[in-house]
Structure 1
Amino acid sequence: MVANEHPLLTVTSQLDSICEQTLANLTADSVDVGIATIQQLLAVRQVLLDDWNREPIDGFLELNEQVQKKMERIFTHTAEQVRSVRKKQVASQGYRQRADVQGSFFDSRE
């Protein structure tokens, strides 16, 4: 942290860094870890935002916009993964139900 850097800029820089790391390795485990860290930093940042007197901070708006875009990409990717898993679960459940029905049909014929 630079001696005169605003804490809000510092936390947003940390957010940018973790978003970059998460985007670089979008596996299920890294996304979970990245999102947990992002949530922690967002909580800290929200406190700083609440206390901010709205005086301009050099570079903050640009960095904040960059972070928001990265978070959108991470959460879009995560949502796509969730949809994919749900489709597979529904398909698997349907297959199991059909197999159960067929199995019970053959069991009833004995």
Structure 2
Amino acid sequence: MQKIKDQVFNLSNATSFVKDLRNYEIKKILSETSLRAYLSERYQIENLSKIKTTFMWKSLKELQIKPVDWVHYSPIMLTLQEDPDREAAMEHCLTLVHDEIFASIKHLL
């Protein structure tokens, strides 16, 4: 993350950063135990069936290959380019990433 803080962002860098961060966060929850722990800790969701977790993995893997949603991330794209407080921008970006992750699987709950 320190490397990101010191970068000068242009639109391409910001898009790559968001996609890399999103994919990193998805990879962290692509095991059954990790996904269950993630949903339990973040959203207090327990007792998922094996079928639901399988479909959630599929949805998360599809999200990994999707392009960055400009509408969802536009506020952070501008902030990453202009704001000297990159740490706050990165925290906000992480929140948006988790919102997108949850949006991609909530229909399976």
Which TM-score applies when normalising by structure 2? 0.30
TM-score by length of 1: 0.29
Structure of greater Rg: 1
> Which structure dedicates a bigger proportion of its chain to helix?
1
